[in-house]
Amino acid sequence: MEYTTVIKPKNKLFEVDLKEIWQYRDLFSMFVKRDIITQYKQTILGPTWFFIQPALTTIMYMVVFGGIAKIPTDGLPQPMFYLAGIVCWQYFADCLNKTSNTFTVNQGIFGKVYFPRLIVPMSVIASNLMRMGIQLLLFIVVYIYYLIIGVQVAPNVYVLLLPLLVIMLAGLSLGFGIIISSMTTKYRDLTILFSFIVQLWMYATPIIYPLSTMSPEKQWIMAINPVTSIVETFRYGTMGVGTFSWGMLAYSFGFMVVLLVIGIVVFNKVQRSFMDTV
Amino acid sequence: MTAIEFNNISKQYRLGLVSTQTLSHDLNRWWKMNVQGKEDPYLKIGEVNDRAHKGVSDYVWALKDINFKVEQGDVLGIIGKNGAGKSTLLKILSKVTAPTTGTIKARGRIASLLEVGTGFHPEMTGRENIYLNGAIMGMTKAEITRKLDEIVDFSGVERYIDTPVKRYSSGMTVRLGFAIAAHLDPEILVVDEVLAVGDAEFQKKAIGKMQDVSKGEGRTVLFVSHNMGSVGDLCNNAIILSNGLISNRGNVKEIIDLYLSSVNNIELSRTWNDIECAPGNNIIKIKRVCSVDSQKKPVLYSLTSEKIGIYIEYEVLKNTSYFTHGINVYTTSDLHLLSSHDNNVYQNDSIIEKGVYKTVVWIPSNLLQSGDYLVSFAFMRYNPFNVLLTTDNLLRIQIVDTKKSLSRPENVNEYIPGLIRPKLLWDERIIINQ
């Protein structure tokens, strides 16, 4: 019989064992299931919270940004405009926050048993997808309400890009998340820095304001943020209002691919020895 | 056939806090290795890992050049003091952390039981946790479903299987965790002291299961424990790790005996040649303490069935008025077990002259429980009462169960529990009513 397991000091840079991840696919689904069923155990309202959170946030934005600051909403009813942004951003931010502490939160398990560590952040991305789906339903309900009362909105062909947009949000948050979690095993400063960067990041993304309020040159600066084009495309596809550019979207996609590759390489390197530094 | 092969496995750790120094060391290392093409500057200054002594380097070798092979079907015990590198070795083997140098090659699936119930989620039911924990350990869903009944049965928590695990007692959690692990069916099983928990019935069951795994099914087991009893029961071979090196390997019986005597060596007999360093004051200096057998020969350990002598040799530095000696015996958990003073003579006006003296105090046979004890010494006068000298615990004595020390005990369970184990006198039974 041949040796089936070989344990070496260091992996090669691009040695990512995808086959191994596939072998652990049952663990992946188990983690997703765990995250979903344990999230609202022993709460009275249960999964209703999935609706309450975005609904309250939307009302809050309507009061502060729409009412007090009077920021325009591309001519859309405020609830629709904000909710569209919140659905996208919330998914991105949730995934990012939860994957960025993969190592520190899971050190108990990671210190005791081996499985491909990448399973953990991947399962976070997947379990949050359900939450996003439910929030998307809320968005559709609000959408239908406004159609009934006669607001002129219509989706266009770009709505078909929706699955791609979700994949891009997932990929970006996974990429950033695993890079940050890899770096925070040694230097905890990043955790502090990072939690507030995410807060500021939202304001650099057209969530509470439309990109169209800016001049075309400034729009390109805004589009350096890879989330910008995703949010704008989402609004454009679903409601026909906003800024859409294939160029910006392609940039975001390319950004995501590069980020993911770097992320996986870094994560893979750190996972071998993080127990000594965490 | 070789199941596992360790080749030059070493593991280096950095001592102290991971701090701002870390970044500068990291940068220095990166600069030396990648820009100047030199060796890792911090790797070569590592030194032998002896936790009791302060070293000069911030880096230590938790393991250094570990080379050995484990044959298929072997049950190998790994013993050693705290910090000897046992857990590090298992962590490397279970891929939790990577070695600094060297490789390990193994045939077949390795399952590690560094802790049972890893990843249990308190809010999920026992059944859900079986699936979750099984998957973490590398089982597929289908495999778990096939073995579910067996696992539930083995754990003995069938009644609670649909109750969240947070409502379980700690013993039940361990039972469930071990039951899952026991049904992993790996070719190589790595176990770290998980048997220290759970009640006696379950421990027996767990050991039995591990014996089945190794003997009946020809699987390889690596077992780390401080409990020489369970190592002796379970393993056929053993290695001693000491300061990150394999100091001995061989048959389990020999290794355990060797280990027990080496542990005792530390404080088993102590001699102070330099009077400056010896414990004492300007009147009395202790020169030597050790335990002796009935022939007053120094011994490494005593049997429960023999009397134990504690030998004290001291120097009186100047003529002084009469004093007596005393000892205090503590258990290793710092329980003050007994105190004995040589107070036969309460009043004595004689003078003790300058010189070296020796004495022995005898602890009767069949009194102390088997185990380690620490002894401190005192010198005092009784008329009027004053204490000349009290010492810290200077000596460790070890008492070994007579049964266990004999070749191979037939029934290991004949352990007599209790803090002490005196042989008491029982009257003959008399019938009082018919």
Mean pLDDT of B192-212: 70
Looking at the domain assignment, is residue A7 inside a domain?
no
Q: Is A220 on the interface with B (CB under 8 A)?
A: no
At a CB cut-off of 8 Å and minimum separation 6, what does B268 contact?
A: B290, B291, B300, B301, B395, B396, B397, B398
Average pLDDT over residues A236-248: 85
Residue A137 within a domain: yes
Q: If you average pLDDT over residues B369-392, what whole number do you get? A: 84
Which pLDDT score is estimated for A271? Answer: 81
A126 in Cβ contact with A33 (< 8 Å): no
Residue A2 lies in a domain: no
Q: Match 């090669």 to its residue by tokens.
A: A12
Lowest mean pLDDT among A78-92, A138-152, B267-281, B420-434: B267-281
Pairing of strands B355-363, B245-251: unpaired
Predicted confidence (pLDDT) at residue B265 exceeds the cutoff of 50: no
Mutate to test the interface with B, among A6, A276, A278 (most CBs of B within 10 A): A276
What does the alpha-carbon distance between residue A205 and residue B345 come to, in Å, rounded to a whole number?
Answer: 92
A24 in a structural domain: yes
Of B100, B121, B123, the CB nearest to A9: B100
pLDDT (mean) for A263-273: 84
Q: What region, left, alpha or beta, does residue B250 occupy, with left being phi > 0 and alpha being psi -120 to 50 degrees?
A: left
Q: Locate B24 and state its tokens.
A: 């500068």
The more confidently predicted of residues B96 and B261 is B96
- Over residues B66-95, the mean pLDDT reads 86
Q: Tell me the nearest-neighbour CA distance from A259 into chain B, angstroms.
A: 23
**A221-230, B18-27, B266-275: the lowest-pLDDT one:** B18-27
Residue B118 at interface with chain A, using a CB cutoff of 8 Å: yes
Whether the predicted interface score ipTM is above 0.95: no
Q: B294 forms bridges with which residues in the sheet? A: none
Extract the tokens encoding B106.
């193994």
Q: Are A129 and A182 in contact (CB under 8 A)?
A: no
Given CB atoms, is B218 within the 8 Å cutoff of chain A?
A: no
Question: Does residue A4 form part of some domain?
Answer: no
The two tokens of residue B288 are 């030597």
Rg (CA), chain B: 27
**pLDDT at B366 > cutoff 70:** yes
Q: Count the neighbouring beta carbons within 10 Å of the beta carbon of residue A203.
A: 10
The answer to the question of residue A145 being in a domain is yes
d(CA A234, CA A225): 15
B-facing residues of A in 147-186 (CB < 8 A) are 186
Taken in order of first residue, the domains within chain B and their CATH numbers are 2-6+66-262 (3.40.50.300), 272-405 (2.70.50.60)
* pLDDT for the residue numbered B413: 47
Residues B365 and A132: their CA atoms lie apart, in Å, by 75
Q: Report the chain A residue with the minimal C-alpha distance to residue B133.
A: A27
Q: What is the model's pLDDT at position B198?
A: 60
Q: Provide the pLDDT for residue B298.
A: 87
In a domain, A72, yes or no: yes
Number of domains into which chain A is organized: 1
Residue A13 DSSP label: T
Strand partners, B223: B77, B191
| Percent share of chain B, pLDDT over 90 | 12
Distance CA B317, CA B319 (A): 7
Decide if A25 is inside a domain: yes
Interval B109-160: pLDDT, tens: 888 777 777 778 888 899 999 999 889 888 889 999 999 999 999 888 888 9
A60 is in which domain, residue-wise?
Answer: 18-35+45-276
Q: Best residue in B30, B70, B94, B95 to probe A by mutation, most A CBs within 10 Å?
A: B95
What's the whole-number mean pLDDT along residues A133-157?
87
Checking if the pLDDT of B407 tops 60, the result is: no
Distance (Å, whole) CA B405 – CA B408: 8
Q: What is residue A185's three-state secondary structure?
A: coil
User: pLDDT confidence of B406, banded at 50, 70, 90?
Assistant: very low
Give the A window 111-140 contacts with B, CB below 8 Å: 111-115
Record: contact A113-B100, CB cut-off 8 A: no
Q: Which of A3, A9, A113 sits opposite B118 (nearest CB)?
A: A113
CB crowding B313-326: b at 16 or more within 10 Å, else e: bbbbeeebeebbbb
Q: Using CB atoms within 10 A of its CB, is residue B330 exposed (0-12), middle (13-18) or buried (19+)? A: middle
pLDDT of residue B207: 74
**Do B64 and B221 meet the contact criterion of CB atoms below 8 Å apart?**
no
Neighbours of B191 (CB within 10 A): 26
- Facing residue for A115 by CB, picked from B107, B109, B138: B138
Judged by average pLDDT, the poorest of A83-87, B71-75, B112-116, B286-290 is B112-116
Output the average pLDDT for chain A.
86
